[in-house]
């Protein structure tokens, strides 16, 4: 009751619901920031600078004892990571004016990289010469400027595959002790051509640890550039949201998921070994 009579209360206004653009913007910002942190963490884990989720510290000798870090497989992974790391800066430089074009080109590059690995399957079998993945761009034009058709023997194989040369023996990268060199252009698979994936001939296998760290840096730059391009909700629309989801999903599939699984499996077995060792010491003192 007020001095001049009863006080009239008006119902408070409900806060306005966020727009679809605002929700999309927040999702992209949060996901990109999380991915940057994840890539930085994976890089530090490979460099032996952090304990994997506060459990074990993996130094280089520890990593080399992992089954997936067998030298032959590691050389192939390094070559593939190098190709992707070389190709992404061109996407940043040439298609970094707006988020739509940037994401469209990045998706095309990642799709080509996936297709390259699918054509020559990790289990050692290759897709038949007429059986290219649907995402792969078939082209009969072998004279496109700035690109050339690429032989898998020129650039190394996906991890876990064995590719015989023309004489039926294993290619140099498969032995782990010799070097892969370019093969003649007539060894190319018919129609195997890439528009965005750079495939230079490498005279030697790159170092995996340096290559992985550099690829993480390149992908961090990629996400940072995207955050710059998408600076407000007005830059977001359903097409941008869809392309971002696809691109981020491919980055998780190509880099994050496999590496995280490797560390999880080995940290789990490592912790079991540490606990068994502690138990042995404790019980040994009691018995």
Give pLDDT, residue 219.
Answer: 96
Q: Are 195 and 137 in contact (CB under 8 A)?
A: yes
- The answer to whether 249 and 103 have CB atoms below 8 angstroms apart is no
Tens digit of pLDDT for each residue in 157-173?
Answer: 333 344 334 333 333 33
Confirm if 163 and 171 have CB atoms less than 8 A apart: yes
CB-facing half-sphere around the CA of 122: CA atoms within 13 A: 12
The pLDDT confidence band at residue 32, using thresholds 50, 70 and 90, is very high
Residue 50 phi, psi dihedral angles, 5° rounding? -135, 150
Average pLDDT over residues 106-121: 82
pTM for this prediction? 0.70
User: In this predicted model, what pLDDT tens digit does every residue of 255-267 receive, in sequence order?
Assistant: 898 888 888 888 7
- Tallying the residues shown for the chain, one arrives at 287
Q: How many angstroms separate the CA atoms of 161 and 74, rounded?
A: 11
Structural domain boundaries of the chain? 20-286
Highest averaged pLDDT of the listed ranges 42-56, 80-94, 209-223? 209-223
pLDDT of residue 277: 59
Measured between alpha carbons, how far is 25 from 238 in angstroms, rounded to an integer? 11
Q: Which two tokens stand for residue 53?
A: 């989720």
Q: Please give the pLDDT value at position 19.
A: 87
Do 100 and 239 form a contact (C-beta atoms < 8 A)?
yes
pLDDT at 182 over 80: no
Which pLDDT belongs to residue 124? 44
| pLDDT of 11 | 55
Following DSSP, what letter does each residue of the chain receive, concatenated? -BTTBPPPPPPPPPPPPPPHHHHHHHHHHHHHHHHHHHHHHHHHHHTT-SEETTTEE--HHHHHTSGGG-HHHHHHHHHHHHHHHHHHHHHHHHS-SSHHHHHHHHHHHHHHHHHHHHHB-TTS-B--TT---TTS-B-S----TT-----HHHH---TT---B-TTSSBPGGGTSSS------GGGSPTTB--SS------SSPPPHHHHHHHHHHHHHHHHHHHHHH--SGGG--HHHHHHHHHHHHHHIIIIIHHHHHHHHHHHHHHHHHHHHHHHHHHHHHH-
Q: Could you tell me which residue, 72 or 138, shows the higher pLDDT? A: 72
Question: Per-residue pLDDT averaged across 85-92, rounded?
Answer: 91
How confident is the model at residue 275, as a pLDDT?
A: 59
Per the CB < 8 A criterion, the answer to whether 190 and 81 are in contact is no
Q: Quick one: tokens of 115?
A: 């297709």
Least confident stretch, 16-30, 123-137, 165-179: 165-179
Inform me whether the pLDDT recorded for 100 exceeds 50: yes
Evaluate if residue 145 carries a pLDDT over 50: no
Q: What is the mean pLDDT of residues 183-190?
A: 41
Please report the pLDDT score of residue 226 as a whole number: 95
* pLDDT digits 0-9 by tens, 201-243: 888 889 999 999 999 999 999 999 999 999 999 999 999 999 9
Res 190: pLDDT: 66
Cα–Cα distance measured from residue 93 to residue 196, given in angstroms and rounded to the nearest whole number:
13
What pLDDT shows up at residue 82? 92
Dist CA 118 CA 268 (whole Å): 30
**Confidence label for 283 from pLDDT (cuts 50, 70 and 90):** low
Is residue 87 within 8 Å of residue 150, measured between CB atoms? Answer: no
Could you tell me if 89 and 219 are in contact, meaning their C-beta atoms sit under 8 angstroms apart?
A: no
pLDDT of residue 281: 60
pLDDT at 248 over 90: yes
More confident residue, 148 or 205: 205
What pLDDT score does 87 carry?
94
Per-residue pLDDT band at 284 (split at 50, 70, 90): low
Angle at alpha carbon of residue 34, lines to 33 and 37, rounded to 5° = 90
| pLDDT value for 139 | 38
């Amino acid at each position: 009751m007020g001095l001049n009579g009863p006080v009239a209360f008006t119902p408070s206004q409900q806060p306005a619901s966020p727009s679809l653009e605002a929700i999309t913007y927040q999702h992209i910002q949060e996901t990109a920031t999380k991915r940057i942190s994840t890539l930085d963490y994976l890089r530090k884990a490979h460099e032996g600078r952090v304990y994997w989720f506060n459990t074990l510290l993996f130094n280089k000798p520890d990593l080399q004892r992992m089954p997936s870090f067998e030298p032959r497989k590691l050389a192939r992974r390094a070559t593939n990571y190098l190709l992707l790391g070389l190709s992404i800066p061109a996407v940043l430089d040439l298609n970094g004016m707006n988020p739509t074009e940037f994401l469209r080109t990045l998706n095309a590059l990642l799709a080509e990289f996936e297709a390259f690995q699918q054509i020559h399957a990790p289990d050692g079998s290759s897709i038949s010469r007429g059986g290219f993945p649907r995402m792969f761009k078939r082209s009969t034009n072998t004279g496109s400027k700035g690109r050339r058709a690429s032989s898998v023997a020129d650039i190394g194989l996906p991890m876990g595959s064995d590719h015989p040369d023309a004489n039926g023996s294993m290619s140099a990268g498969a032995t782990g002790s010799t070097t892969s060199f370019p093969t003649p252009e007539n060894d190319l698979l018919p129609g195997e051509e890439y528009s965005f994936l750079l495939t230079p001939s490498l005279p030697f296998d790159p170092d995996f640890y340096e290559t992985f760290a550099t690829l993480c840096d390149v992908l961090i730059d990629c996400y940072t550039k995207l955050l710059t391009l998408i600076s407000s909700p007005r830059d977001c629309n359903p097409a941008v949201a869809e392309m971002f989801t696809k691109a981020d999903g491919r980055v998780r599939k190509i880099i994050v998921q496999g590496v995280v699984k490797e560390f999880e499996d080995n940290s789990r077995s490592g912790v079991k070994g540490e606990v068994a060792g502690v138990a042995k010491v404790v019980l040994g003192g009691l018995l």
